[in-house]
Structure 1
Amino acid sequence: MIQLDVLLPLPLNHLYTYGLPEEIEIPRTGVRVVVPFGSKKWQTGIVWRIREVNHADDSLKEIVYVLDETPWITEQQMLFFDWLSTYYMSPLGLVLKAAIPSALLLSSQTLVQLTPEAHVDADQLTDQAYMMLEALAQHKSLPLNTLLSIGTKSSGMDTINDLVDQGFILVEQDIKEKYVPKYETFIRADIHQKSLSSALPPKQKALFSWCLEKSTGVAFSIKKKELTNTDFWSPSAYRSLVDKELLLEKSVRVDRIVWDQNESTKPLKPLYPPQNVALNELLDRLYESKVTLLHGITGSGKTEVYAHLFEELLQKDRQVLFLLPEIALTTQLIKRMQMYFGDKVATYHSGMSQNERVEVWRRVAAGTSTAQLILGTRSAVFLPWKSLGLVVVDEEHESAYRQTEPAPRYQGRDAAIYAAHLYGCGVVLGSATPSLTSMAHAQSGKYGYVRLDERHLGTPLPQVLLIDLKEQQLKKKMKGHFSSVLIDGISECLGQGKQVILFQNRRGFSPSVQCTSCGHSPQCPSCDVALTYHKQGNILKCHYCGFFQNHLSQCPSCRAPGMETLGLGTQQVLESFQELFPGVSVKRMDQDTTRRKNAYQELIDGFEQQSFKVLIGTQMLSKGLDFKQVGLVGVLQADAMLHHPEYYAHEQAFQILYQLGGRSGRSEAQGKFYIQTYMPEHPLLQQVSRHDYAGMVETQLAQRRTFQYPPEVKLIKVILKHKSWNTVDKGAHWLAHQIVSRSSLPVLGPADPAVARIKDQFIKHIVVKVPPHVSLSGVKKSLSRLQQTFEAIPEFRSIRLLFQVDY
């Protein structure tokens, strides 16, 4: 007997075993199957293992359908998913759910319909049963949930089961493919009928002659939509030609995203000597399948070095993964790479539709030439590579590579390194400000190290000016949130025809509002956080759960008029800028302005083409964007970044500020970088002003050694969530005590995070430090066993327990 172990995309850590009906051929591992799961419910799963057993097991449910002949998941992907699940302590089913495009997971709906022989007698039925049957009599079928809403909800399922037993209704599953292929009509002219052309009416003759000229033998080479764009297009003439079989039609399945064949590619730009040296060093390490850190200052031309690496691999028909931290970066770099490599380039990220992602997935699995170089965000590590030859992780230090919600909570950079190990290929980690962990690995020799410390045009790094806000305020040189120094700098820059970037790491108009009489500040009812004021729409909004309410003209607590805004958001920066510089074109780039599909593309293209002069935004502006005409970058308030309550706050602040400064002066002229702060003497800001990355690394690594933080130790954060503060607090203290008593490891907490309640769930954190001499896998196994004990305690069973490894 054949048994199939099936993985379902559910929060489950184990496989489910099903029997194989005799009439179904043995499928291959990695194909999709439809299986019964639970009461009257079907699920789409992946065949993970196939086993032949000697004895039949009548208790096993059997699979319903095999959906594919060719696997969607490869054996190497299975190994990768297993590793990701184990390392990041996440259910394997949720790894599958995160990895595979949701359009490949069929939608299942339970439908109910009357049996043909059903004869309804109201006297023999309950009121609820009668109403259900009346509703079904008016429709061919109804969804189960619709029927359950009729009458008393608590008794609805019992009534349904009674009607099934009495033969009145049938309950069945309706399975639908979510992926919808796209088809396009292609045509060709029947060249053997050429002689009939002269006898055709004028419109038909013009249309047929054009198609004859474009047709190549028996190939259907003309897109119908090409024909509709011609001056002589006529629907009636076209239909007549098709009816006469002078034009032949064919429906062809096509991908949604295709390279414009009218675009021509250009040769790669020649490298300057330091880039050539870096390229050769990277190639040497690449053939040894090693991880190499490419440390290049901003504007040093790392992307051009990448392009030459890509060319080396693509010429050998190998696939390349180019990982980027943000969708915004993919929109800018896709054009650059397509300029060099044409239709070999494809993208893969969450901004694409699910249908588009399925098509890229299929092309990568097939190893087609139209998906050899993939530019993608962290989810691209899950693709089914056929001949992966190189992984490049650009801006490797970026926190955007970490997924925190939902599970799996993984680090995309580190996952990509492990995937490359499975595929036997090299990895390049690129950054102007490498993470302390990567730099420590380079210093220890675990990673190779290649340095690029010259800007490719010879332009010096930007001039950095720390503006003391205390001094500016005392001298009354502030206009709103802009100092006179920053205003003068912007004026000079714009006067030279250059562009300006302004940074404020808060969206909205103001982080909060406050009553001037009693001090009340409106809070989110579901989260422990103040509501952010958005002037557009005049609303107060929670950025954690999405709750919003209208902005009130009077205090809801004391009823006094007058609510003033506190703090600074990107909307307010925009408004203040427009008051100071009327007539200067300006746009905003943050989460609020980039929700719409293609919004990133439009903003980046517009700024690149100088459709507007000033771009105001949040942290996404620091992520490696390349604008040649930016002459000045300004930071409105730098201090908040220095007070973030995490061990990596200063490392991250340096990276953001250094990278922001690097957006200016990327052509011939030196750029300027203005930082407004109340603490110009702060050591970290002084390091930024000197472009002193090495000094920052030395300082921060010394502190990490002293206080035992990564890379000195590994960290596992245990997160507990519950609607009751007392329950989660008691559970967290019990758990922390158990961890300490069972392992003797250093444990921090339990403690409240910065926002201790989100979506009506109170949160507690416990941080476990794992020194190098202690087995990390052993600690994780111990925590998993402790989780089972914890969840077996009735009082704690409803607490949600999560793990974040290497946070």
Structure 2
Amino acid sequence: MKKFVDVILPLPLPRCFTYSLPEEWADEVQMGCRVVVPFGRKKYYTAIVRNVHYCEPTDYEVKEVSTLLDARPILLPEQFKFWEWLADYYLCTQGDVYKAALPSGLKLESETMVEYNPDFESEVRLPEREQKILDLLSAEPEQCVTKLEKDSGFKNILPVIKSLLDKEAIFVKEELRRTYKPKTETRVRLTDEMRNEKRLQELFDELARAPKQLDLLMKYIELSSILGGDGLKSFPKEVTKKELLLRASASPAVFNGLVDKHIFEVYQQEIGRLYAVVRDTLPINPLNEHQQAAHDEIVQCFQSKNVCLLHGVTASGKTEIYIHLIEEAIRQGKQVLYLLPEIALTTQITERLQRVFGDRLGIYHSKFPDAERVEIWQKQLT
């Protein structure tokens, strides 16, 4: 039986739109996953699946989902409810909320691509600007408008593109591109052939005439702890190329020599841009008499109301009271959202919170680049 999905588009539209699902994704798509869908004549958008069902619309022809982007949802049911509340409260559509809420790195952008027509022949000499564009395209037959504008040095290139389109010298198509790229680092390991104690012993003798390569290999063995008292370990520590060269004071040429001899192999490992706080936490400072009195009044107020105003001048000790209240909420299995009125306070406050809560603290503000916003979004799903 044919499956359909209702999706939220990042557009100010008052309702969801329904698309059919190809059979190969019918059992994989879930509510909260991203899909690429056609909308309009030549536009493609990243949409969020709001519902999966078997009811085919009868009042219009249903288009098909182009691509499934996620193996698991990137939006939780609680977030859908929150989006609905935001749209109702601020008198806007859920598409507006989606466009504002999701980091742009999780959205695919439809970018105009220009493609060279190899069959084009002009009976007259082309204007200089048009010929320059065609020369660039002949070297690289498919380019985006942004790149052509940069390489040609022309400003306002669109009239030139339109003129070439009218002459059928080029074609234009819409192509989706990903804006988020995971951060990776280069790591090193022994090749499968070398992961043998006897072969390693032979290797030490073979490299006797190449002392720099032997030193580099020995430093790798030290850093990875691949050799232990029980022999060769199945899961040694991972070693980065950067750290290995630094610790061994070796040159890239020496390293490449071991790669060429099929002793080392390099691989790319995805790493997070968000680093956990590596520091020892400290116990909470005890409250003084006045802070304790304010703390007790706040706790008493929360028993009858869900809001309380704490008034105090700068440096009067309010943050210590907040820290105690946060610790009590976490101990009860709850979560805490700590909002600051301005970004300038971020460093000062987060350092104080990290001393108590360590890597349980997550930080988010407008100065984060988009790649980090993507990782923060993904982290909150786990």
Q: CA deviation at 1:355?
A: 0.3
Q: Which residue of 1 aligns with 2:380?
A: 364
Q: Which residue of 1 aligns with 2:222?
A: 213
Length, aligned pairs only: 351
Change (3 A) 1:202 1:318: farther
Q: Which residue of 1 aligns with 2:89?
A: 87
2:215/2:248 contact within 8 Å kept? no
Alpha-carbon distance between aligned partners in 2 of 1:304 and 1:64, rounded to the nearest angstrom: 53
Deviations 1:369-408 (A, max 9, x none): xxxxxxxxxxxxxxxxxxxxxxxxxxxxxxxxxxxxxxxx
Change (3 A) 1:55 1:349: closer
Alpha-carbon distance between aligned partners in 2 of 1:248 and 1:202, rounded to the nearest angstrom: 20
The one-letter code of the counterpart of 1:210 is K
Q: CA deviation at 1:318?
A: 5.0
Q: Which residue of 2 aligns with 1:8?
A: 9
1:103/1:178 contact within 8 Å kept? yes
Alpha-carbon distance between aligned partners in 1 of 2:138 and 2:218, rounded to the nearest angstrom: 57
Q: Which residue of 1 aligns with 2:351?
A: 335
The one-letter code of the counterpart of 1:311 is E
Q: Which residue of 1 aligns with 2:181?
A: 180
Larger radius of gyration: 1
CA RMSD across the alignment: 3.6
Q: Which residue of 1 aligns with 2:211?
A: 202
Counterpart pick for 1:35 among 31, 34, 37:
37
Q: CA deviation at 1:177?
A: 0.9
1:40/1:110 contact within 8 Å kept? no
Change (3 A) 1:232 1:55: closer
Q: Provide the TM-score with structure 2 as the length reference.
A: 0.77
Q: Which residue of 2 aligns with 1:251?
A: 268
Counterpart pick for 1:352 among 345, 354, 368:
368
Alpha-carbon distance between aligned partners in 2 of 1:275 and 1:356, rounded to the nearest angstrom: 37
Q: CA deviation at 1:285?
A: 7.0
1:32/1:71 contact within 8 Å kept? yes
1:191/1:212 contact within 8 Å kept? no
Alpha-carbon distance between aligned partners in 2 of 1:344 and 1:279, rounded to the nearest angstrom: 23
Alpha-carbon distance between aligned partners in 2 of 1:223 and 1:287, rounded to the nearest angstrom: 53
Alpha-carbon distance between aligned partners in 1 of 2:105 and 2:213, rounded to the nearest angstrom: 42
The one-letter code of the counterpart of 1:64 is S
1:35/1:44 contact within 8 Å kept? yes
SS in 2 for 1:43: strand
2:34/2:46 contact within 8 Å kept? yes
Alpha-carbon distance between aligned partners in 2 of 1:285 and 1:243, rounded to the nearest angstrom: 71
Q: CA deviation at 1:359?
A: 0.7
2:114/2:171 contact within 8 Å kept? yes
Structure 2 gaps of 5+ residues are 149-156, 226-232
Counterpart pick for 1:236 among 225, 233, 253:
253
Change (3 A) 1:30 1:207: same
Q: CA deviation at 1:148?
A: 4.2
Q: CA deviation at 1:31?
A: 1.6
Deviations 1:104-150 (A, max 9, x none): 1112112232456x353648xx99xx979956556403446977422
Deviations 1:688-738 (A, max 9, x none): xxxxxxxxxxxxxxxxxxxxxxxxxxxxxxxxxxxxxxxxxxxxxxxxxxx
Alpha-carbon distance between aligned partners in 2 of 1:347 and 1:251, rounded to the nearest angstrom: 27
Alpha-carbon distance between aligned partners in 2 of 1:176 and 1:34, rounded to the nearest angstrom: 11
Q: Which residue of 1 aligns with 2:154?
A: none
Deviations 1:254-276 (A, max 9, x none): 11131354x43333323334434
Q: Which residue of 2 aligns with 1:60?
A: 62
Q: Which residue of 1 aligns with 2:160?
A: 150
SS in 2 for 1:258: coil
SS in 2 for 1:321: coil
Change (3 A) 1:85 1:249: same
Alpha-carbon distance between aligned partners in 2 of 1:247 and 1:302, rounded to the nearest angstrom: 56
Q: Which residue of 1 aligns with 2:102?
A: 100
1:182/1:254 contact within 8 Å kept? yes
SS in 2 for 1:293: coil
Change (3 A) 1:2 1:134: same
SS in 2 for 1:322: coil
Change (3 A) 1:237 1:144: closer
Change (3 A) 1:133 1:353: closer
Q: Which residue of 2 aligns with 1:599?
A: none
Larger deviation: 93-102 or 304-313? 304-313
1:188/1:219 contact within 8 Å kept? no
Q: CA deviation at 1:336?
A: 2.0
Change (3 A) 1:71 1:349: same
Q: CA deviation at 1:246?
A: 4.7
Question: For 1:262-273, what aligned pairs fall within 5 Å after superposition?
Answer: 263-273=279-289
Deviations 1:427-447 (A, max 9, x none): xxxxxxxxxxxxxxxxxxxxx
Change (3 A) 1:114 1:202: closer
Deviations 1:743-766 (A, max 9, x none): xxxxxxxxxxxxxxxxxxxxxxxx
SS in 2 for 1:294: coil
Change (3 A) 1:258 1:284: farther
SS in 1 for 2:381: helix
Counterpart pick for 1:51 among 47, 50, 53:
53
| Residue 324 (structure 1) aligned with residue 340 (structure 2) | yes
Change (3 A) 1:288 1:15: farther
Change (3 A) 1:63 1:122: farther
2:116/2:134 contact within 8 Å kept? no
Alpha-carbon distance between aligned partners in 2 of 1:134 and 1:244, rounded to the nearest angstrom: 46
Alpha-carbon distance between aligned partners in 2 of 1:287 and 1:248, rounded to the nearest angstrom: 62
Question: For 1:492-511, what aligned pairs fall within 5 Å after superposition?
Answer: none
Change (3 A) 1:281 1:243: farther
Q: Which residue of 1 aligns with 2:72?
A: 70
Change (3 A) 1:57 1:67: farther
Alpha-carbon distance between aligned partners in 1 of 2:372 and 2:333, rounded to the nearest angstrom: 23
Larger deviation: 277-286 or 222-231? 277-286
Alpha-carbon distance between aligned partners in 2 of 1:338 and 1:114, rounded to the nearest angstrom: 56
1:203/1:232 contact within 8 Å kept? no
2:86/2:97 contact within 8 Å kept? yes
Q: CA deviation at 1:331?
A: 1.9
Alpha-carbon distance between aligned partners in 1 of 2:248 and 2:351, rounded to the nearest angstrom: 31
Change (3 A) 1:279 1:175: same
| Residue 227 (structure 1) aligned with residue 238 (structure 2) | no
Q: Which residue of 2 aligns with 1:614?
A: none
SS in 2 for 1:346: coil
Alpha-carbon distance between aligned partners in 2 of 1:307 and 1:75, rounded to the nearest angstrom: 30
Q: CA deviation at 1:3?
A: 3.2
2:6/2:18 contact within 8 Å kept? yes
Alpha-carbon distance between aligned partners in 2 of 1:302 and 1:119, rounded to the nearest angstrom: 73
Q: Which residue of 2 aligns with 1:18?
A: 19
Q: CA deviation at 1:286?
A: 6.7
2:113/2:175 contact within 8 Å kept? yes
Alpha-carbon distance between aligned partners in 2 of 1:54 and 1:142, rounded to the nearest angstrom: 39
Alpha-carbon distance between aligned partners in 1 of 2:296 and 2:189, rounded to the nearest angstrom: 50
Change (3 A) 1:37 1:54: closer
Q: CA deviation at 1:85?
A: 1.6
Change (3 A) 1:131 1:229: closer
The one-letter code of the counterpart of 2:217 is F
Q: CA deviation at 1:348?
A: 1.0
Change (3 A) 1:300 1:121: closer
Change (3 A) 1:100 1:138: same
1:131/1:150 contact within 8 Å kept? no
User: What percent identity do the matched residue pairs reach?
Assistant: 37
Q: CA deviation at 1:223?
A: 3.1
Q: Which residue of 2 aligns with 1:275?
A: 291
Q: Provide the TM-score with structure 1 as the length reference.
A: 0.39
Question: For 1:131-142, what aligned pairs fall within 5 Å after superposition?
Answer: 137=138, 139-142=140-143
1:186/1:220 contact within 8 Å kept? no
Question: For 1:521-536, what aligned pairs fall within 5 Å after superposition?
Answer: none
